[in-house]
Structure 1
Amino acid sequence: MTDARSRLRHGRLSLEVSFFVQGAVFALLVTRIPAIQTRYGISDGLLPVFLAAVPVLAGMGSIGTERLVARVRPGAVLRWVQPVVGLALLAAGSGHELWQVALALGVFGLSVGGLDASMNMLGVSLQHAYGRSIMLGFHAAYSLGGIVGATLAWVGAHEGLSLAVLYGPVVAVAVPTALVASRWYADRDDPRVQVLADDRLSGRTEVGASDRGMRFLLPLCLVMAFAYIGDSTVSNWSAKYLQDVLHGSDQVSTVPYNAYMATTLLGRAVGDLGVRRFGPVRVVRAGTVVAVCGFGVVSTAPGAWVGTAGFTLLGLGLSVIVPQTFAAAGRNAEERLGAGASDRAVARLNIFNYVGFLVGSPLVGALGEMWSYRWAMVVPMILALATFRYAPSFGPSGARYGGGHERPSTADVGRGGNGL
């Protein structure tokens, strides 16, 4: 009993480390894209091709991971793919020729797809083992890592550090840290950490997660894409919107994204408590309402600081949606298809992370040029509102836990079941 409890705690902490490291690494890449462009002499016309290739390859990596985890534990995939992501970041900042950065970003894209998929597979299976919502905590660690990575990138830019000098020490710390933490990953089929299925799932095995069998994922896939369209809108257009539309200064235009990241971290840090108290459907609907209000404030803001308040609301609203989408996909897959279907569902859902990222920024940019940026902000608002319609997909009837929304801890600790 004690060994299984300890294994779960260690698995949870080690996975939080992995999410944190990935958040920092990804932020260090995306915040220094202009420096990468300058280093390699990438033209403005060619840069979008490079940027689009990364999420496309990441989607391919997620598809490959779906097939790979049928033979290899997700923890093993994550253990070896995360160092590759870190080394690809270093390679992107250390080369001199165009083919070198193309290769580095290609490896980064493929490996980050496997990393995102396997991380969330482990997170979902750990949540099943705990029997209570912990998924938002993992994504809070990612957000915290993103803030740290963006801060390091700002320091590097302020001090005039080359990309190699900036990335080198970070990778030298992050890669060994992730490898050490990987010793304690807790996979679903770890003999010391078994998940007890609900009574109506007892004895069931996976019946085959065919494309037909996975149709129940469609609403969650749409929600995932909508959420990342909103997220990419903030990351790519918030500064330009404040400066060009709301006439904010250069300094003020940097505030919205930082505020967005801060409230994303806050929402995820406390979100699990909300899910435990009110259930996933109410939390997702509340997050959707807040996000829609945020876009509404942004699109009608009379000035820069009101616009910043809107982006702040957006962070709070969108923060809960993506982690709960992964959790719902895994839970629904197990309920409908039996034990083992969760990993495949998470891998397929993860693809729509990159779909939203690919669509969001060009969509807002094109609408802004043809129409106006104020009206362009209404489109992701409408898409976010659609999440309210799909909210029931986050809480199937069999996913009611103790206290109305959470079941008691289901970790198999010698069938004692005292909870964690």
Structure 2
Amino acid sequence: MTAPQAPASQAPGAPLRHGRVSLSLSFFVQGVVFALLVTRIPAIQVRYGISDGLLPVFLAAVPVLAGAGSVGTEHLVRRVRPSVVLRCVQPVVCLALLAVGSVGSVAQVAVALGVFGLSVGALDASMNMLGVSLQRAYGRSIMLGFHAAYSLGGIVGASLAWAGAHWKLPLGLLYGPVVALLIPLALVVGRWFVDGDERAAAGGADGAKAGTPVAMRLLLPLCLVMAFAYIGDSTVSNWSAKYLQDVLGGSEQLATLPYNVYMVTTLLGRTVGDLGVRRFGPVAVVRTGTVVAAAGFAVVAAAPGAWVGMAGFTLLGLGLCVIVPQTFAAAGRQAFEEHGPGASDTTVARLNIFNYVGFLIGSPLVGALGDAWSYRGAMLVPMALVLVTLVHARSFGSAPARYGDDHERSRTADVGRGSNGL
């Protein structure tokens, strides 16, 4: 017997649907921009003559400043709606990317990277704030879909970067046309962003004001999960190519594939992930993703050759992809249940800091362990850290009460509102 369908009149209204599409496009734009930056770091180093000793300082400064941008956004959204923050900072991120490829000195590129870091922290925080509030308004899981759009943007950006490298395009010539397309797109879609919950949007209100975030001691399990997930992600981003070539004996061409495979499987997992959350609930999906990701690290560590290692990176993409979006959703829901809808924005901004903590720790940690011990053994460390998510899996659950919402179907798992739902 199929689940009863909600009447057409009770479906999400046009403002919510437009808000969902526009926010997905914003995630897509950010995926393109970020991929264009990180995949062309070697070219940036060569263009500006940045030494091998100085490059790690530049790379570490970006997540540190992004964390500062997220902290600033936590306070900013107490006075300004997240949609306004996102509309303002996304063009800045795009322009900062263009500046990275176009300025004339090391000092200028350092400033450009600093602006990129600060603005991307505000952008990541505000995007996920809007995603959490839209999910609450919809009354069902849609958060993974936003991150799927980011993964798609990452694939497009990496493909453009490959084309630029293949045709030996100067960075400014590669970034310029892309930015010229992305900024107007970001400005246009920003007109349909939706703040706060569905009822505030329907009533023409400005949305709920930001309130007190969840106390850090209560948020700590989700912060750890976020940091450990990004340690796993940065391990793939920074070490997959070297590992496949130097440890597993793959060719130079084959070594370029693991990250692409990882991104594609991340996209696939996130595309269908919301369906899994609606059917089985967030706890079951996060537990499954954690086990699959840990299995992926184990396969990579034990792989006898390059193709088995590729299978391990495939599992990693399918497993890790569900954890981060559900961590944001769980934090927003916890804040909503404890302090009301306005608190979720500041809580999401606080949690977002641990995105950059994991990114900052992951690559140096694996590199140091690989040099001091072995790279096979180093892969077991992010595996163990990701498995900590199983200990905190209950943090992804919610109160047994249903949404009490017109959009809810009888078999949809409770992922958006708790017992204090509007």
Q: Distance in 1 between matches of 2:184 and 2:210?
A: 39
Residue pairs, 1:135-150, within 5 angstroms: 135-150=143-158
**What is the aligned partner in structure 1 of residue 107 from structure 2?**
99
- Give 1:206 shift: 8.8
Work out which of the residue numbers 167, 172, 177 in structure 2 matches 1:164.
Answer: 172
**What is the aligned partner in structure 2 of residue 209 from structure 1?**
212
Letter in 1 for 2:223: C
CA contact 1:61–1:112 (8 Å) conserved in 2: yes
Q: Distance in 2 between matches of 1:310 and 1:73?
A: 42
Asked if residue 181 in structure 1 is aligned to residue 189 in structure 2, the reply is yes
Asked if residue 123 in structure 1 is aligned to residue 128 in structure 2, the reply is no
Residue pairs, 1:273-352, within 5 angstroms: 273-352=275-354
Asked if residue 406 in structure 1 is aligned to residue 413 in structure 2, the reply is yes
Letter in 1 for 2:384: I
CA contact 2:136–2:197 (8 Å) conserved in 1: no
Letter in 1 for 2:212: A
**What is the aligned partner in structure 1 of residue 4 from structure 2?**
none
- Give 1:398 shift: 4.3
**What is the aligned partner in structure 1 of residue 406 from structure 2?**
none
**What is the aligned partner in structure 1 of residue 142 from structure 2?**
134
Letter in 2 for 1:393: S
Secondary structure class of the residue paired with 2:112: helix
**What is the aligned partner in structure 2 of residue 257 from structure 1?**
259
Letter in 2 for 1:237: W
**What is the aligned partner in structure 1 of residue 355 from structure 2?**
353
Secondary structure class of the residue paired with 1:250: coil
CA contact 2:210–2:344 (8 Å) conserved in 1: no
Q: 1:300 to 1:122 in 2, by over 3 A?
A: same
Deviations 1:220-262 (A, max 9, x none): 0000000000000000000000011001000111111111001
CA contact 1:131–1:406 (8 Å) conserved in 2: no
Residue pairs, 1:62-101, within 5 angstroms: 62-101=70-109
CA contact 1:206–1:338 (8 Å) conserved in 2: no
CA contact 1:124–1:330 (8 Å) conserved in 2: yes
Q: Distance in 2 between matches of 1:28 and 1:165?
A: 12
Q: Distance in 2 between matches of 1:149 and 1:41?
A: 24
- Give 1:210 shift: 5.9
**What is the aligned partner in structure 2 of residue 201 from structure 1?**
none
Deviations 1:168-206 (A, max 9, x none): 0000000010000000001116876259xxxxxxxxx99
Deviations 1:1-41 (A, max 9, x none): 79970000000000000000000000000000000000100
CA contact 2:194–2:201 (8 Å) conserved in 1: yes
Deviations 1:327-349 (A, max 9, x none): 00000111012221100110000
Asked if residue 22 in structure 1 is aligned to residue 25 in structure 2, the reply is no
- Give 1:406 shift: 3.0
CA contact 2:210–2:345 (8 Å) conserved in 1: no
Q: Distance in 1 between matches of 2:210 and 2:62?
A: 34
Q: Distance in 2 between matches of 1:142 and 1:86?
A: 15
Q: Distance in 1 between matches of 2:398 and 2:196?
A: 21
Which segments of 5 or more consecutive residues in structure 1 lack a partner in the other structure? Answer: 196-204, 411-416
Secondary structure class of the residue paired with 1:228: helix
Q: Distance in 1 between matches of 2:249 and 2:172?
A: 36
Q: 1:306 to 1:335 in 2, by over 3 A?
A: same
Q: 1:325 to 1:126 in 2, by over 3 A?
A: same
Letter in 2 for 1:233: T
Q: Distance in 2 between matches of 1:48 and 1:382?
A: 26
Normalising by structure 2, what TM-score? 0.91
Q: Distance in 2 between matches of 1:58 and 1:192?
A: 30
Letter in 2 for 1:248: G
CA contact 1:57–1:113 (8 Å) conserved in 2: yes
Letter in 1 for 2:125: A
Q: Distance in 2 between matches of 1:102 and 1:274?
A: 43
Which runs of 4 or more aligned residues in structure 1 lie more than 6 Å from their structure 2 counterparts after TM superposition? 1-4
Letter in 2 for 1:5: G
- Give 1:119 shift: 0.2
**What is the aligned partner in structure 2 of residue 200 from structure 1?**
none
Q: 1:178 to 1:302 in 2, by over 3 A?
A: same
Q: 1:407 to 1:193 in 2, by over 3 A?
A: farther
Q: 1:317 to 1:306 in 2, by over 3 A?
A: same
**What is the aligned partner in structure 2 of residue 245 from structure 1?**
247
CA contact 1:207–1:338 (8 Å) conserved in 2: no
Q: Distance in 2 between matches of 1:409 and 1:311?
A: 31
Which segments of 5 or more consecutive residues in structure 2 lack a partner in the other structure? Answer: 1-8, 404-408
Work out which of the residue numbers 46, 50, 62 in structure 2 matches 1:42.
Answer: 50
Q: 1:81 to 1:232 in 2, by over 3 A?
A: same
Q: 1:354 to 1:215 in 2, by over 3 A?
A: same
CA contact 2:74–2:345 (8 Å) conserved in 1: yes
**What is the aligned partner in structure 2 of residue 109 from structure 1?**
117
CA contact 2:78–2:210 (8 Å) conserved in 1: no
Letter in 1 for 2:315: L
CA contact 2:12–2:138 (8 Å) conserved in 1: no
Letter in 1 for 2:388: A
Secondary structure class of the residue paired with 2:253: helix
**What is the aligned partner in structure 1 of residue 390 from structure 2?**
388
Secondary structure class of the residue paired with 2:278: helix
Deviations 1:123-152 (A, max 9, x none): 000000000000000000000000000000
Q: Distance in 1 between matches of 2:151 and 2:343?
A: 28
**What is the aligned partner in structure 2 of residue 232 from structure 1?**
234
Q: Distance in 1 between matches of 2:210 and 2:106?
A: 47
Secondary structure class of the residue paired with 1:193: helix
Secondary structure class of the residue paired with 2:195: coil
Secondary structure class of the residue paired with 2:413: coil
